[in-house]
Structure 1
């Protein structure tokens, strides 16, 4: 992931040294880097991870599903009563909510799943074929949302929800961090409110970043803790919810992994669910505790669609049955989920209006500094509820937006004239409150471009969004360069022919609320003009639901 504001040509240049090329992941800022044959992935990662203009670089790992055993003769859905699902069903079955299942695909012909399915994508083969190639995905999908009240088979926890099948595995059921990151971004861009990935990847930066991207779009991601029965030392994260497994006695399953990252526990032993080919079986694993939790979140979102992802997460945590040591512990997290209690709390909650602004500060740039070229800028931001995004502004113009902590930018200082420049960071929360840092005034000193007759138009591109579906708050950013120097470029951004942002320099950004526009196709246009009056423009088409 490059730092926000890093010009596209700069990213291409630092990868070109290794003969590498980057593929952008959906509407997010994540990239998958492809290397030429024979080059060491580890060697390149070691170099890129130390580059100050990249947030992180990590290897693409392949991970097995968190699946333990399979007993085809157990036939009781004990877990539904255990967590109070029937009481929650008195309010809703999960209607109106889409749960993305990132797995080996889903059997679309299964009588207990077919009616719930919506189109998804296969990120392993990069096509629309989401048939289950291993069998695991169909079991996970059934635990979450097998159709309820249809007089047949089993009932998923959210038996009225929709299921979006996203295949992220090879034919042996092994998933890659890159395919999971792509799947989460795809689901978020298409308005899914919940995603389940039954693979213990909660220690990978790329997966956590993609999960945060979905959370920023008002969704939640659940992930299985793993089945090693040993401690995983990965740190706790707020990007996703890691789920351990319990049995019918509300004790941790012996094979359930534990550690600081575990946030919740849920039934994961003898979970009766759907199987590929139209059948049913009881299965074990944190692979199934995770979708049970995901579906519980879907019930709350269905009952109270106006609640934010953070509010739903808080409801799950504070209504969980505290097991083990008091408070959050490494075996059960906040405790075993309680769907009935969470639903009661969701129905009774009256969210108080959030009027407290975030706090922001630039931490690594001192006033009076002389800068040139690309300047790394770190920002510390906090809020009583949560920071939604941080904007970097130079001389009052937003040049980059970062929505994933830790907040870091690469400012192209050649985009302003030499001399004094004022740099500020503005943090926003979900309620629209804003907090602005103290201004840091620096002296820009870049090599001057020689003055000469200029008949060449600027080069201009829209970095985000890429063509396709968008949802929620969309970061719109542009990149421009010119033979006469970036400082002489004036840029503007239009949405459906309405001016939304303007400024000078090589980069320009603004946040567009796609929830407030009509469903359909929208035109985003960028325009640039250099100091000699040469102009350029480019457009991209996006769709909203």
Structure 2
């Protein structure tokens, strides 16, 4: 495929409980240079277990809340003494080898990823752990993936890139919607791969970054999927180059929970990295969460998703390519699920948006075409930001209804329309007496 031209969380001090010594904890926006930071890629979903115990913290407060900072034994960063003792006993009793762990303040838990003893039956071990009164959660470590089509070799080179440049933008009438809103004041969290922070269309749009995978800044900046999603949502407008995002004045935070084991294949994530990222989001004021990824249902991730929804965050998720909406994060009725516009009617409540041949930002300052429901979800996340900029207190159900208003394509099938949704919202506010 030929490319188009290039056009804090403050640092906290955590008491190292078992060592009784003080050591600084890295901030959310920094990448911890600990074994935990590089542990994700070495985990094995066919073998490893996620284990959690209650984590009541002894006064005075001895932690900085949930963070993306890795935990390294024997420091037990963020763990109360009860959690430390229980985890040590559990590891010894069941012969578990700890890989990494982290606190989740919002759920009152301390989680660890463990490797069972060699030759152990994981299913039997999980059953035993579930019966242990000290264990609040025991589940398999699971894998997730982003929803983008694989790169196409020898794809058609468009000789009129300016027209195609705005394809998804034009089809949703985003420019018309921008007369009323450009997403200003809305904070969007993108849980994905990393993103190119130096891209000319993303400079100034990404306010902060968090890495739940490793401490490799070059890999973070070189990640394609997160760069693509960020560009669709909030690429800078009126800068005489590149593209315009759906909500060009929204504020982005990027949480790297997915990585490329092979740059020629899709990015992958797991229960551990996604849980760390979502726990980090819960510690912020992000109003919208974009999850252009998915996989199997997961107890821990389900708890974190439920907490996001309980706090009235708007969660936008990409529908799996096979249409099976029974996993994470698309199986919750509070999530706005988005599919790539197709030639068949969408299931009830599912939003359709442009997702094929979408031109967006690429690493190293480039632009290229990409496809997948990940891109459709990014379009909808941008529209959600436009709506919240006008009416910050909108809930997910009200937003879904606005997104599903008449936005018919020429073939009569529904596709989300930013201008229709924004106009309907403004009309309803006028009728309600709002300015």
Residue in 2 that maps onto 1:113: 202
User: In the alignment, is the contact (CA less than 8 A) between 1:232 and 1:259 conserved in 2?
Assistant: no
Shift of residue 285, structure 1, vs aligned partner? 0.5
1:263 lines up with 2:263 in the alignment: no
- Contact 2:141 2:272 (C-alpha < 8 Å) held by counterparts: yes
Number of matched residues?
334
**Where do 5+ consecutive residues of structure 1 fail to align?**
327-331, 354-545
Asked if the contact 1:211/1:239 (under 8 Å) is kept, the reply is: no
Tell me the residue number matched to 2:104: 25
Q: 1:46: how far off?
A: 3.2
Give, in angstroms, the shift of residue 232 of structure 1. 4.8
Once the two structures are TM-superposed, the CA of residue 141 in structure 1 deviates from its matched residue by 0.9
2:55–2:110 Cα contact (<8 Å) kept: no
> What is the match of residue 125 of structure 2?
44
State the match for 2:392 in structure 1: 305
Q: 2:233 aligns with which of 144, 150, 154?
A: 144
Q: 1:147 is paired with a residue of what secondary structure?
A: coil
- Relative to structure 1, the CA distance from residue 91 to residue 32 in structure 2 (aligned partners, 3 Å threshold; closer, same or farther) is same
Aligned 8 A contact 1:211 1:220 in 2: no
1:404-419 alignment, distance < 5 Å: none
**Per-residue deviation, 1:203:** 2.7
Residues in 2 aligned to 1:160 and 1:166: alpha-carbon distance in whole angstroms: 19
Q: 1:263 to 1:25 in 2, by over 3 A?
A: farther
| Counterpart pick for 1:161 among 250, 260, 263 | 250
Change (3 A) 1:126 1:346: farther
What does residue 271 of structure 2 align with?
Answer: 177
Q: Which has the larger radius of gyration?
A: 1
Unaligned runs of 5+ in 2: 1-50, 58-79, 262-266
Q: Matches of 1:26 and 1:157 in 2, distance apart?
A: 33
TM-score with structure 2 setting the length: 0.66
C-alpha distance in structure 2 between counterparts of 1:216 and 1:231, whole Å:
24
Where does 1:37-436 land on structure 2 (aligned, <5 Å)? 38=117, 40=120, 41-49=122-130, 57-70=138-151, 71=155, 73-74=157-158, 75=161, 76=164, 77-125=166-214, 131-172=220-261, 173-201=267-295, 203-227=297-321, 229=322, 231-234=324-327, 236-246=331-341, 251=343, 263-317=350-404, 319=405, 321=407, 336-349=415-428
Cα deviation per residue 1:226-277 (whole Å; 9 max; x = unaligned)?
23x4545558412422221115xxx259xxxx978x7322111011100011
Cα 1:27–1:79 change in 2 (3 A) is same
- Could you tell me the TM-score, scaled by structure 1's length? 0.54
Task: Tell me the distance in 2 between the aligned counterparts of 1:122 and 1:205.
Answer: 22
Q: Which has more helix, going by share of residues?
A: 2
Q: How far apart are the structure 1 equivalents of 2:334 and 2:299?
A: 10
* Cα contact 1:85–1:339 (8 A) shared by 2: yes
Which residue does 1:429 correspond to in 2? none
Mean Cα displacement is larger for which, 204-213 or 288-297?
A: 204-213
Per-residue deviation, 1:112: 0.3
Q: Is the 8 A contact 1:104 1:133 kept in 2?
A: no
Higher relative contact order, structure no. (Cα contacts within 8 Å, ≥ 6 residues apart): 2
Larger strand proportion, structure 1 or 2? 1
**What's the C-alpha RMSD, in Å, of the aligned pairs?**
3.7
* Alignment match, 1:12: 86
Determine helix, strand or coil for the equivalent of 2:350.
strand
CA 1:110–1:202: 2 relative to 1, 3 Å: same
Could you say what secondary structure the match of 2:189 adopts?
strand
Partners in 2 of 1:62 and 1:212 — Cα distance? 20
1:189, 1:348 → 2: CA distance?
34
Q: Give deviations 1:286-311, integer Å, cap 9, x for gaps.
A: 11111111111111111112334454
